[in-house]
Amino acid sequence: MAEFTMELNDEQKEVRDWLHGFAADVIRPAAAEWDEREETPWPVIQEAAKVGIYSLDFYAQQYFDPTGLGIPMAMEELFWGDAGIALSIVGTGLAAVGVLANGTEEQIGTWIPQMYGDQNDVKVAAFCSSEPDAGSDVASLRTRAVYDEAKDEWVLNGTKTWATNGGIANVHVVVAVVDPGLGSKGHASFIVPPGTPGLSQGQKFKKHGIRASHTAEVVLEDVRVPGSCLLGGKEKLDERLARARERAKTGGERVKNAAMATFEASRPAVGAMAVGTARAAYEVALDYAKTREQFGRPIIDNQGVAFQLADMRTSVDAARLLVWRASWMAVNGKPFTAAEGSMSKLFASETAKKVTGQAIQILGGNGYTREYPVERMHRDAAIYTIFEGTSEIQRLVIARTLAGMNIR
């Protein structure tokens, strides 16, 4: 187990500086254009692939960093550059983690490379769980997966919504119901390979922020996938379902909810994205406050402005510390006895929303225009309190964990 540290080692600092350079030189200058275009920034993803940032190797290296600081450090730097473009770069990683966490070695080796494509022909992947009637209430998914034993195929039907890269992905990971009587325990994840008939993109959403990231519905109509596309395999699923049915019958002891443990481990990464956006807005506001003069002096000479900056910086640093702690806990298998993963995501996302708003205030009229980036950052920041569990759901998880209550 790695000791918790608040300092990056030399190797991590090198990676951070390299990522920061890419964020400053490639992502930041492209941010306003792709925000206006509301399209996936393929040339930027391609550039990230060329230098090795858009790759499984890079992601896996950070993911398995024993200090736990690899992923938060990478997310913070990329999202400091721009949230929409960064989500287009890391969105595939979120789907890949779904396969890494639940797939067999063969599935990992087959599908993850196809999620990324190669440097000359980059691809993206999508993770499709949310549905029109199942957002926060994940247990009420309706998309069905039915096994056709004669053909050893699964047949998927349903509509997914809000899928990042939905419909444009080479590989879709779809969560579906295999046993409707078991709530979230009756769910399983499936790979839908490239070009599978029956999968189509529904509505593409026009969004408030992170507009360089594609978000759309995914419609599944009699989508047939081979039995080998069930993540983890049929035997494991059958065992898991049998255990869940037995518990449902006997009212047996509640076992640790594996899905919740996974969320606790993945939420700090979203917190780190929020820290990146918050830090970016704080830095713009600090520079502006030092140079903008009113009443014959820089506006930072006014305590009303300086104290806001003090609060902003304090919140950004506090958010980062919560994120780093939770991320270290996740990598080192520490139990989340106070839902520390949810805590980090809650605090960091609320911080991003607040700090980006304060930045607009400090820039005055300029802050309210698209001539300056804080307006975009404020729009982008609103997503952090919504996806990967809203702030209300984070509070619910934290409160129920503290109370020792069931979280479903």
Kind of pairing, strands 121-122 and 171-177? unpaired
Residue choice 62, 130, 344, 358 for contact with ligand FAD (CB under 6 A): 130
- Residues in Cβ contact with 11 at an 8 Å cutoff, skipping those fewer than 6 apart: none
| Total residues belonging to the chain | 408
Q: With binding defined as CB under 6 A, does residue 40 bind ligand FAD?
A: no
Cβ nearer to ligand FAD, comparing 213 with 308: 213
Cβ nearer to ligand FAD, comparing 154 with 162: 162
- Residues in Cβ contact with 257 at an 8 Å cutoff, skipping those fewer than 6 apart: 407, 408
Cβ nearer to ligand FAD, comparing 58 with 162: 162
162-191: contacts with ligand FAD (CB under 6 A): 162-164
50: tokens are 């060329």
Q: With binding defined as CB under 6 A, does residue 127 bind ligand FAD?
A: yes
CA dist., res. 185 & res. 180, Å (int): 9
Kind of pairing, strands 293-294 and 121-122? unpaired
Residue choice 20, 39, 108, 135 for contact with ligand FAD (CB under 6 A): 135
Q: With binding defined as CB under 6 A, does residue 390 bind ligand FAD?
A: yes
Three-state secondary structure of 134-189:
ECCCHHHCCCEEEEEHHHCEEEEEEEEEEEECCCCCCEEEEEEECCHHHHHHHEEE
Kind of pairing, strands 125-128 and 171-177? parallel
Residue choice 387, 397, 398, 401 for contact with ligand FAD (CB under 6 A): 387
Q: Is 252 helix (H, G, I), strand (E, B) or coil?
A: coil
Q: With binding defined as CB under 6 A, does residue 193 bind ligand FAD?
A: no
350 is catalytic: no
The catalytically annotated residue of 131, 340, 350, 388 is 388
Q: With binding defined as CB under 6 A, does residue 200 bind ligand FAD?
A: no
Amino acid at 204: K
Segment interacting with ligand FAD, rule: CB under 6 A, options 35-43, 101-109, 240-248, 389-397: 389-397
Q: What 8-state DSSP symbol labels residue 131? A: B
Q: With binding defined as CB under 6 A, does residue 86 bind ligand FAD?
A: no
Segment interacting with ligand FAD, rule: CB under 6 A, options 14-22, 282-290, 373-381, 388-396: 388-396
CA dist., res. 277 & res. 352, Å (int): 6
CB of 385 to ligand FAD, least distance (A): 8
Q: With binding defined as CB under 6 A, does residue 337 bind ligand FAD?
A: no
How many binding residues for ligand FAD (CB under 6 A)? 21
Cβ nearer to ligand FAD, comparing 263 with 324: 263
Q: Which of 165, 222, 172 is nearest to 194 (CA)?
A: 172
For residue 266, what are the CA distances in angstroms to 65, 204, 342? 14, 26, 9
Segment interacting with ligand FAD, rule: CB under 6 A, options 99-107, 124-132, 150-158, 232-240: 124-132
Segment interacting with ligand FAD, rule: CB under 6 A, options 179-187, 207-215, 240-248, 294-302: 207-215
Residue choice 108, 182, 386, 407 for contact with ligand FAD (CB under 6 A): 386
Q: Is 72 helix (H, G, I), strand (E, B) or coil?
A: helix
Q: Which of 314, 317, 338, 315 is nearest to 326 (CA)?
A: 338
Cβ nearer to ligand FAD, comparing 136 with 337: 136
**Site residues, ligand FAD (CB under 6 A):** 127-130, 135-136, 162-164, 207, 210, 215, 383, 386-390, 392-393, 396
Catalytic residue set: 388
